[in-house]
A and B are shown apart, each in its own frame.
Chain A
Amino acid sequence: MRTGIFFCQVEENNRLNVAAVAKYAANLPNVETVQELGIQPRLDAKDLAGLVHSGNLERIVIAGDMPGYFKPVFTKAMALAGHDPLEVRLASFREHGASGSTTLERAKAIVACAAFGVPFALAVVPGEKPVQPTTLIIGAGIAGIQAALEIADAGKPVCLVERFGTIGGHMAMFDKTFPTLDCSACILTPKMVSVAQHEMIRLLTNSEVIALGGSPGSYRVQIKCKARMVDVDACVACNICSEVCPVEVASEFDAGIARRKAVYIPFPQAVPNAYLVDAENCLYVQSAGKKCGACVKKCPKECIDLIQKDEIIEIEVGNIIIATGYDVLRADNIEHYGYGILPNVLTALEFERLTNASGPTGGKIVTKSLKLNKRTKQEEWIFDANGPAPKSVAIIHCVGSRDQNYNSYCSRVCCMYSLKFAHLVKEKLPGADCYEFYIDMRAFGKGYEEFFERIKHEGTFVIRGRTAAISELNGQMMVTGEDIIQDKLIQFPVDMVLLAVGLIPAHGTEELSRMLGLTRDEDGWFSELNYNGRPTDTEKGCIYVAGMCQSPKDIPDAVAQASAVAAGVLSSISSGKGIGHRGSVTLSEIEARAKSLQAK
């Protein structure tokens, strides 16, 4: 077939040398003409039809990052010239992953496949490798837990690695889920317990993956199991060690609004349900055994061993699932919201813990009160269950999201959890005024819009307009903003401000991506192989992504993606054929395969 190849770009792409690809394309068999039309060319169907006619082109290939953008005009041109309009083929660099180190070769292969008229996915078949049955899951939040249970329930061994002392991730910190207002723990804790009790799941908490070797289907993974210093099997979680421990630090699980000891259990339902020692803050460990050691003496089960060392284990796994999740953006970077300066400006996670029945106030929503810290002899703002309840609460959406100064992307869950907060405030403090400041209400999921309507009916004031500043006037917090709908400036006093902070990839994501050789998108989230078609696969064979680490998503989506990954993993284990690295397929291999497919 006489083929014409047209390079059209929608926007500039500095990573790809289009001229080199065009030069390569000109030497492909049956290629009559290759034209570089540049960025956003103004195309006229009649002119193109003339071109098709003069070159007697039977097939047109549009090559570019988003060639579909130009397809209509080329189809029309083919029809005008009296040729088959179905023979307009797309060579989409973005869709087929021409990025990273193999950009140029990959782009050439994509163009070649389109010119041969062979779907790219058929021509690129990474080698089929034998697969080890064990699956490694990095991160034991809801996505990791879900994937682990799915795979383990199918009878395949799973190794679940979690950096923190307990599994559960962020979902364990939440009070309610939106939009159903289910108790978060009621959904999660049974799953956590199942993980702990499952005979096919090897649970490694307080551990991190530190090195990766091997190849798809049989990876060798080194895992550093940090010293827990408490015997998980012997510990009965009696809390005596915590009572005697003299060290107090901010509790990670309580998002910093409560304090914990150096020997602690993150929360009462933790899995494994055993205490652990925070070596960085333990006096005994830091002084190399010269100080303290009180917990060892007091422990009735004698299960604390403060001289336990970190251990590095190596396991062999077939598939790897990454479910490392997210962190919240640091709100103190955003000066005009006064986080960290004004005591009653809280981030979403802090409020989530405050309103949680297992939180420091037992679920009572109160403002911070000034208390004397006996140890440091300084007054501190802390949450006290008997503190004053706020009379008015402002919830500010899009804090650090959709903002070119911070995250340009939408974090997707903030609108809905903010609405949930409004409901919780109204539920627990019916007399309090609640204000939602939003830019656009993104209630996109099943039942979400209805939830929004419900919140409005509950008496929450929903104000369209971003708050510009939170200031303090004579000890009273003031929010300043513009009410866009009413077209007026507003400033009024509030007692508590909740910042719906945006989400960022979990810390350590960068090192992990480097270790596994995975690419990340410009915002730092792991890149999936294909956004639409293969949202859980990655460039690397037998490595998958699930949950938040791929992009911000809500719990149902994270769970769905985790189950999808489990299906992929199970199919590769049961067929015994793992997928190799896609980048490893060379241009000549793709060409040869495309040619043979074309011949058929």
Chain B
Amino acid sequence: MAIRVNPKIIDDLEGYGAEDVHLCYHCGNCSAVCPHADEFNVFPRRPMRYLQMGLERKLETSLEPWLCYYCGQCSDQCPRGAEPGETMMSLRRWLISRYDITGIARLFFKSTKVELAAVIIVALLTGIFFLGFGFWQGDINVYDGSNAFLPSSFIHNFDLALGFLVALFIGLSAFRFWWFSMGGKSAVPIPWWLYIKKVYLLPWHFFTQKRFADCEKETTRRIYLPWLAHLGLMLGYVTMLFIVMVFVKQLQAGPEINWSVHVFGYLASLGLLIGAVYMLRGRLKKNRTQYQRSHGSDWIFLVLLFIIALTGVTQHILHRSGLLLAANIVYIVHLMVVVPWLLRMPFTKWAHMFLRPLGMYFSAVRNEALARQKSGIETTVQARKVA
């Protein structure tokens, strides 16, 4: 069987952040320290090998990058400074751009400037659109009810339309992910019922990120803080997304609604803010191995998220304290950040929210299929020996 080799892939990956792959001399230390490497997924060394050899297709079909939460132990112990952890991170970026059919992801990861420009342009367009829309049909001094500057019913419909678009692209990426790793391009035959047997893993990994908690068995602290921050951020984000997508009409019905309905929103905001601040601080101070190197997309991700959370909270406070003009202005700013953020979701780091649990689910399915295949071979061999 002919194997197609792309010798340029190692250079290509430099744009995604992995600069030191060529230093690796394959001692295997990284795979051995990795708490998540298992019988069938020996990483990070194996993907590093693929990169050095230019085995692009093997990389495309590999699930290993999605099993890594980047605790940094491999990079800490690497004798060559080849940064295996950062390589796995970069491979995730590369894979996102591979799954994406539009080519936008590649453009964004390769050039932070392009991504930033796109964000700014979309933000400005959004601002102009909502200002025009607001002045055309409402009063800037009115926040809710009739004649509102930005009526919640319109925002709701706008959200849904946006959500549909994002879901479409994410769905496409997810399908291509499946096709590459499990479907047409995969060499392992997988029985359909295994997908059903393991489907519980999808929500499990999505909502608990348990494997991240297993990343570092720190003896000094019982709880692994990066996991907590990551989980808080992600749960806050999902809650907020759900609330905004489904309940925005109810929650912005008017100033007279009960405070208590906001409890989920408050918790989510707290999770978002604390998580974002923890990670921003970590990346600024470079206090952990995984925060040593930040790709441009990491910064855009965190900064935008922080602004979204901050403006969301601010406009809520302003609205509640009756400063409606200010609330509307902050609301516009909030939307100016939210719209580009949502639109770029399927093409950037954000996609890992869905792709990582999906990857872990796929991996569990594939592992079992491989284990069955292996034991099947062993039984045939034994049967032959007996005969």
Contact = CB atoms under 8 A, between A and B. Distances in A.
Interface of A: 336, 398, 402-405, 439-440, 464-469, 480-484, 487-489
Contact of B25 (A336, A439, A480): A439
A336 B77 contact: yes
5 contacts: A466-B27, A487-B42, A488-B42, A489-B38, A489-B42
A481 B32 contact: yes
Interface string B104-124: 000000000000000000000
B319 interface: no
A250 to B, nearest CB: 30
A489 B34 CA distance: 10
Nearest to B46: A487
B29 interface: yes
A473 to B, nearest CB: 14
Contacts of A484: 26-28, 45
A468 B42 contact: no
Nearest to B80: A404
B378 to A, nearest CB: 16
Contacts of A440: 25
B46 A465 contact: no
B37 to A, nearest CB: 6
B114 to A, nearest CB: 28
A485 B45 CA distance: 12
Contact of A482 (B42, B77, B81): B42
A20 to B, nearest CB: 33
A122 B42 CA distance: 59
Contact of A467 (B30, B32, B45): B32
B39 interface: yes
B79 A403 contact: yes
B79 A482 contact: no
Interface in B32-62: 32-33, 37-39, 42, 45-46
B79 A402 contact: yes
B31 interface: yes
A483 B31 CA distance: 10
Nearest to A483: B28
Contact of B27 (A439, A469, A480): A439
Most buried by B among A398, A467, A481, A489: A489
Most buried by A among B31, B37, B38, B80: B31
A210 B42 CA distance: 55
Contacts of A466: 27-29, 32, 79
A482 B38 contact: no
A133 B42 CA distance: 65
A398 B79 CA distance: 10
Nearest to B76: A405
B32 A465 contact: yes
A483 B28 CA distance: 7
Given A404-B81, A466-B28, A467-B32, A482 B45 contact: yes
Contacts of B33: 336, 468-469, 480
Q: Which of B27, B38, B39 gathers most chain A CB within 10 Å?
A: B27
B28 A482 contact: yes
A468 B31 CA distance: 8
The SS class assigned to the B binding surface is: loop
B28 to A, nearest CB: 3
A482 B31 contact: yes
A482 B38 CA distance: 11
Given A336-B33, A468-B31, 4 more contacts: A405-B79, A439-B25, A481-B28, A488-B39
A398 B27 CA distance: 10
Contacts of B26: 439, 484
The 3 closest A-B pairs by CB, nearest first: A482-B28, A468-B32, A403-B79
A1 B142 CA distance: 89
Contacts of B32: 465-469, 480-482, 489
Nearest to B31: A482
Nearest to B82: A404
Contacts of A467: 29, 32
Contacts of A402: 25, 79
A402 B39 CA distance: 28
B27 A465 contact: yes
A404 B29 CA distance: 13
Interface string B56-83: 0000000000000000000001011100
Nearest to B28: A482
A414 to B, nearest CB: 14
Contacts of B39: 488-489
Nearest to B33: A468
Nearest to A479: B32
Contacts of A403: 79-80
B169 to A, nearest CB: 35
Contacts of A487: 42, 46
Contacts of B77: 336, 405, 468
B79 A468 contact: no
Contacts of A398: 27, 79
A398 B33 CA distance: 17
Q: Which of A464, A465, A468, A483 has the most CB of B within 10 A?
A: A468
A484 B32 CA distance: 11
Nearest to B32: A468
A405 B77 CA distance: 8
Contacts of A468: 28-33, 77
A489 B37 contact: yes
Nearest to B81: A404
B261 to A, nearest CB: 51
B150 to A, nearest CB: 56
Contacts of B30: 468
Contacts of A464: 28
A465 B79 CA distance: 13
Contacts of A336: 33, 77
Contacts of A483: 28
Nearest to B25: A439
Contacts of A465: 27-28, 32
A338 to B, nearest CB: 14
A210 to B, nearest CB: 39
A436 to B, nearest CB: 14
Nearest to A468: B32
A480 B46 CA distance: 17
A467 B38 CA distance: 16
B158 to A, nearest CB: 50
B64 to A, nearest CB: 12
B221 to A, nearest CB: 18
A484 to B, nearest CB: 5
A391 to B, nearest CB: 23
A306 B37 CA distance: 62
A458 B191 CA distance: 46
Contacts of A469: 32-33
Contacts of B46: 487
A497 to B, nearest CB: 15
B292 to A, nearest CB: 14
B374 to A, nearest CB: 12
A42 B46 CA distance: 35
